């Protein structure tokens, strides 16, 4: 790769791209809602939210000095992130809290980038994160899921035109914002029926001696505030 090509790629990566028309933003919102709301479609699409959920656990584990040993993604849309370190303390608390908050916060960060016109940067950052996560996957289904998701981002980043890239990026961010809200309500419903006794909220309750309901409230607050704030950025209001 010569210097001019590298410079061109760098300029494209760090530069801004034109905002799509408002109808594109609204259409991608409707498309994301059509994926998140119907249960039959959500059962499949939730795998992507699980990638973000477990990726959040893994990233925060590394940032807090824990040793990340592996991530597993399962076909029932559950997942497991294993890290080594002290079984208590701030690092463990932050790691446990990162799962349900990761998808909406990623959506909020993506909305901030799109609001600044950084469509290409968002696609490349997302691709890099998926490639990095792929290294830590420890089961075949997880490898397949992350590989296909990362491959889709890579194809759009390299081969699609600017309008397609913009529509794809907005659809992904809307999906993270909307899809980040539903899991906390699902967890609350399971706990009300006496299930999910070893959920992130229950683990946090044992770690902090605060009721699991407090952590559920945190998950709801982060997801709903991210949706409101990110939605304002995407809609330009």
What pLDDT, on a 0 to 100 scale, did the predictor assign at position 5?
Answer: 57
For 119-147, how does the pLDDT look when each residue is reduced to its tens digit (9 = 90+)?
Answer: 999 999 999 999 999 999 999 999 999 99
Q: Which residues pair with 81 in a beta bridge?
A: 71
What pLDDT, on a 0 to 100 scale, did the predictor assign at position 10?
Answer: 62
Question: CB of 44 within 8 A of CB of 36?
Answer: no
What mean pLDDT is predicted for residues 203-226?
96
What pLDDT, on a 0 to 100 scale, did the predictor assign at position 177?
Answer: 98
Contacts of 75-84 spanning 24+ positions with Cβ under 8 A: 75/141, 77/43, 77/46, 77/47, 77/49, 77/50, 78/50, 79/50, 79/51, 79/53, 79/54, 79/142, 80/54, 81/54, 81/57, 83/57, 83/58
What mean pLDDT is predicted for residues 31-58?
96
State the distance between the two ends of the chain, measured CA to CA, in whole angstroms. 41
Average pLDDT over the chain reads 93
């Amino acid at each position: 790769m010569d210097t001019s090509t590298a410079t061109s790629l760098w300029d494209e990566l760090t530069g801004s791209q034109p905002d799509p028309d408002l109808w594109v933003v609204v259409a991608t919102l409707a498309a994301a809602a059509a994926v998140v709301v119907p249960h039959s479609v959500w059962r499949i699409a939730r795998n992507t939210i699980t990638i973000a959920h477990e990726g959040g656990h893994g990233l925060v584990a590394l940032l807090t000095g824990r040793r990340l040993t592996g991530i597993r993604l399962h076909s029932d849309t559950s997942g497991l992130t294993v890290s080594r370190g002290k079984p208590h303390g701030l690092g463990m608390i932050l790691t446990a809290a990162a799962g349900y908050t990761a998808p909406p916060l990623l959506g909020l960060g993506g909305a901030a980038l799109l609001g600044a016109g950084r469509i290409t940067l968002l696609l490349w950052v997302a691709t890099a994160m998926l490639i990095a996560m792929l290294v830590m996957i420890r089961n075949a289904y997880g490898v397949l899921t992350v590989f296909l998701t990362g491959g889709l981002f890579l194809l759009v980043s390299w081969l699609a035109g600017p309008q397609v890239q913009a529509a794809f990026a907005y659809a992904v961010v809307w999906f993270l914002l909307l899809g980040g809200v539903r899991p906390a309500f699902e967890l609350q419903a399971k706990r009300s029926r006496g299930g999910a006794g070893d959920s992130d909220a229950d683990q946090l309750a044992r770690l902090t001696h605060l009721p699991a309901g407090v952590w559920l409230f945190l998950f709801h607050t982060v997801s709903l505030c991210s949706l409101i704030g990110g939605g304002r950025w995407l809609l330009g209001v």
